[in-house]
Chains A and B, each alone.
Chain A
Amino acid sequence: MASTVDTPASRPEKQYECAARRFLYIWEGPLRIIHWVNFFSIIILSVTGYFIHDPFMSSAQHPYIMGNVRYVHYLFGIIFSVNLLFRIYGFLVGNYFASWRGIPNPFNAKDRKNFWAFIRFYTFTGKETPHLLGHNPVAFCAYTLLFALFILQMLSGFALWAQNDPGSSLYAVTGWIFGLVSNQWVRWFHFLVMFLIGGFVINHIYSVVLFDFKSKSGEVSSIFSGWKPDRRD
C-alpha cells in the first residue's frame, strides 16, 4: 500500500467524475479523538492564555475571573499534555499512517520525489496536484515542528506552574529550564509559541481545504470519519 503520486490532471477524461470506487480507513478512532481534543484544548488554552497575558475583562464580569481562567488554563494544560502523550504513544504503536512507519525517508528516491512534487505544487511551479493517502511529506515536516512546539509549550507551561513551589517535585523536574533562560524568557516564549501555533493553524486549515478542493480526496471529512476515497486506480 505504498503511496502513489496521483495525477488526475493527466487524465482529463476523468476530471469531473467521482474518482473513488471505494474508501480506505486511514485515520483510526483514537487519532481522530486526539486530533479534536487537541483542537479544543488549543483553542481554550489560547483564549485563557491570552486572558492571563492581558486580563481585558475585570471582576465586574465575574467575581473570581482570573482565578477561574487560570484554573481552566491549567486544567486544559493537563488535558492537552496527556493528549500529547497519547499522540506520542500512537506514534509508536499506531497504524501505518499514524506511526513512525509513515515517516518520509530522505534516503528513499520515491519519497524525495514526492516531497518535491508537493513543494512544486505549493509554490505553483508544478502543473500536477500530487496526492497521498497519509500525511504529505511537507505537511509532515510542519507537524514535526508543531509537535516540537507542543512539547516546549508543555514544558514551559509546567515550569511556569512549578514556580509557585520551588520545593516541589514538579519544580525538580522542570526547574532546570530557569538555569538556561530566565523565567521572563520562558514566559515570553510560552506567549510567542501561541502565535506560532496560530500561524500553523491558519496554514493547516487552508492546506487541508486546498487539497480537499484540488485533489478531491475528501480531506476535511476524513478527520471526522477516518475514511478517505481510494484514489489509486
Chain B
Amino acid sequence: MSAFNELLATHGVSRRDFLKYCSTIGAMLALPSTMIPKIAEAIEQDNRPPVIWLEFQDCAGDSEGLLRASRPGVAELVLDHISLDYHETIMAAAGHQAEASKNATVEKYKGQYICIVEGSIPTGAQGAYCTIGGHSAEDILKKVGGDAAVVIAVGSCSAFGGLPAAYPNPTGAKAVRDLLPNKTVINLPGCPMNVDNLTGTIVHYLTFGSAPAMDRFNRPKFAYGKRIHDNCERRSHFDAGQYVENWGDYGHQQGWCLYKMGCKGPETFHNCPTLRWNEGLSWPVMAGHGCAGCSEPGFWDTMMPMYRRLPNVPGFGVEASALNIGTAIVGASAAIFATHGAVTVARNWKNVASAKADLREEIKEHSDDVE
C-alpha cells in the first residue's frame, strides 16, 4: 500500500471513494473516463499540501503580499508547491461552489491540510461583524482551523488582533490563537506579513514536518528573533548621536537615525533590515520613514503616536504622553511640598521671630561678657 493510500485509510477514505472523487473531477473537467486512472495516479503522486486561506476582518494586504512572492514566485508556488484550494481573492469559484471546494478539502484532507488565516475574528454581535456564506468567522475558523494540520496566522490582525482590535476594539476582534488555544498556530505578524517569511515557514514545515522554533508570541525565530534596531543599517548613527531632526533635513538626506522621528525599531522584532521587502529592495527605515512596530502585539496602541517614542495612555488622546504625565507628577509633588513649606514657615513665623530675638539677646549678653 502506498503512503498515500495509507494516509487515505487512516482518514476513513476507501479506494472506491477515492476513485469516485477522481471521476467527479474528470466529469467536472469534461475529460473522458479513460482518464480517471491517470488522474488517480497523478493525485497519488502529487504531494502538494492542500491549503485553505481564510480571510476575516482583513484588508487583503497579506493576500496582496502573497502575489508579490518571488522565491518561489506566486505562479510557481500555486501551481507547483501547494494546492491553494480556497482563497477568496484569487479562486475562480464563487458562492456555493467556493464553499463546496473548501468543504471538500476539509473533509478529504482532515488533519492534513494547511490553514492560513488573514484578518482578525470578531466575537461581538453574535458573530455578525464578519460572516461568509451566512456563517460567522468564528465558526468557520473553528471548523477549518480545528481540523487543519497546522494553522498559520498571516499578518498582525490574525496573529494578534491587529487593527480591528485597536482601542476601543469595536467588534471584540480576536487573534486566531485566542480562539484555537489547543492548536499549533504559527504567527507571522507584520502589516502585512512579509511573504518571504511565509514561504520560509511553509518550506520549513514541508521539509522538517514541524513548525519552526518560535518565540513567546509564536513567531518563528528565524524571522522574528532579533530587533530591527540591532540589525539596522542606521545603527551606527544612533550610537553616534546623529539623528534626523526634521523631515528632509541634512541628516535625513544622509541616512541618519530616525529615532527622534519616532522610529520603533528599538522595540520591534522583525527581519525587515536583513530580509527587506519586494525581493529585498527596501524596507521602511531604508526609504526614510521610521519603523512603526507592525509585527508586535498590540502595536496599534503601544507604538502610537507614530512620531513619538512612547505610547499615550489609550483613550486620552495625544495629551496623555508619558512626558506630560511625568512632568505633572513632579510638578504636583513640588507644588504640594512648596505649599507645605510655605504653611510651615508661616505657622512658625512667631517662633522664628522670638528665636531671633533670643539670639540677639544671647549675643548681646555674650558680648557683654567679653567686654
Within 8 Å by CB, do A and B touch in the complex? yes
A residues with a Cβ closer than 8 A to B are 15-16, 53-55, 57-59, 61-67, 70, 122, 124, 163-164, 166-167, 175, 178-179, 182-185, 187-188, 191-192, 194-196, 198-200, 202-203, 206, 210, 214
Structural contact, A195 and B326, CB atoms closer than 8 A: yes
Task: State A188–B358 Cα separation when bound (angstroms).
Answer: 54
Residues of the A chain whose Cβ atoms lie less than 8 Å from the Cβ of B329: 192, 195-196, 198-199
In the complex formed, the residue of A with least CB distance to B358 is A16
Interface presence of B46 (CB below 8 A): no
Please measure, in the bound complex, the distance between the C-alpha atom of A219 and the C-alpha atom of B269, giving whole angstroms.
50
Q: How far is the CB of A202 from chain B (nearest CB, A)?
A: 5
Contact with A along B229-247 (1 / 0, CB 8 A): 0100000001111110000
Contact between B240 and A66, CB atoms less than 8 A apart: yes
Please determine whether A202 and B337 come into contact, CB atoms closer than 8 angstroms. Answer: yes
Interface contact B334-A182, CB-CB below 8 Å: no
Chain A: minimal CB distance from B184 (Å): 19
- Complex CA gap A62/B240 in Å reads 8
Smallest Cβ distance from A78 to chain B, in angstroms? 20
Report whether A188 and B322 are in contact in the complex, using a CB–CB cutoff of 8 Å: yes
Beyond A59-B242, A66-B238, A195-B327, whether A16 also contacts B347 by CB under 8 A is no
**CB-contact partner of A63 in B225, B240, B322, B337, under 8 A:** B240
Q: With A166-B215, A184-B293 as known contacts, state yes or no: A53 contacts B238, CB within 8 Å.
A: no
**Which B residues are in CB contact (< 8 Å) with A163?**
227, 267
Majority secondary structure of chain B interface residues (helix, strand, loop or mixed) = helix
Q: Which residue of A lies closest to B269 (CB)?
A: A166
Which of B259, B310, B325, B334 has the most CB atoms of chain A within a 10 A radius of its CB? B310
Query: Contact between A206 and B341 (Cβ–Cβ < 8 Å)?
Result: yes
Q: Which residue of A lies closest to B224 (CB)?
A: A166
Give the residue of A183, A192, A202 whose beta carbon is less than 8 angstroms from that of B267.
A183
Minimum CB–CB distance for B163 against chain A, Å: 16
Contact across chains for A191 and B326 when beta carbons are under 8 A apart: yes
Complex contact A199–B215 (CB within 8 A): no
Contact partner of B325 (CB less than 8 A), chosen from A16, A195, A198, is A195
Most A CB contacts (10 A, CB to CB) among B302, B325, B348 go to: B302
- Which residues of B in the span 80-110 have a Cβ within 8 Å of any Cβ on A? none
B216 near A: Cβ within 8 Å? yes
Which of B221, B322, B336, B343 sits near A191, CB closer than 8 Å? B322
Partner of A199, one of B230, B243, B332, B351: B332
CA distance A187 to B267 in the complex (A): 9
Q: Does B26 make an interface contact (CB < 8 A)?
A: no
Q: Are A58 and B243 in contact (CB under 8 A)?
A: yes
A143 → chain B, closest Cβ, in Å?
A: 16
A55–B259 CB distance below 8 A: yes
CB B330 to nearest CB in A, in angstroms, measures 5
Alpha-carbon distance A210/B326, docked complex (angstroms): 25
* 22 A–B contacts from the bound complex (CB under 8 Å): A53-B309, A53-B310, A58-B242, A59-B240, A63-B240, A64-B240, A66-B240, A66-B241, A67-B239, A70-B239, A163-B267, A166-B269, A182-B297, A182-B298, A184-B296, A188-B311, A195-B326, A196-B329, A199-B329, A202-B334, A203-B336, A210-B341
Chain B positions within 8 Å of A214 at CB level:
344, 348
Query: Is B310 within 8 A of A55, CB to CB?
Result: no
Contacting residues of chain B (342-370) with chain A, CB-CB under 8 angstroms: 343-344, 347-348, 351, 355, 358
Indicate whether B11 reaches chain A with its CB closer than 8 angstroms. Answer: no
B325:A192 contact, CB within 8 angstroms: yes
Closest CB in chain B relative to A113 CB, distance in Å: 23
Other 19 A-B pairs with CB < 8 A, given A59-B240, A178-B216, A195-B325:
A16-B358, A53-B310, A55-B243, A66-B238, A66-B240, A67-B240, A167-B225, A179-B216, A182-B267, A182-B299, A184-B296, A185-B311, A192-B322, A194-B326, A196-B329, A198-B330, A198-B333, A206-B340, A210-B344
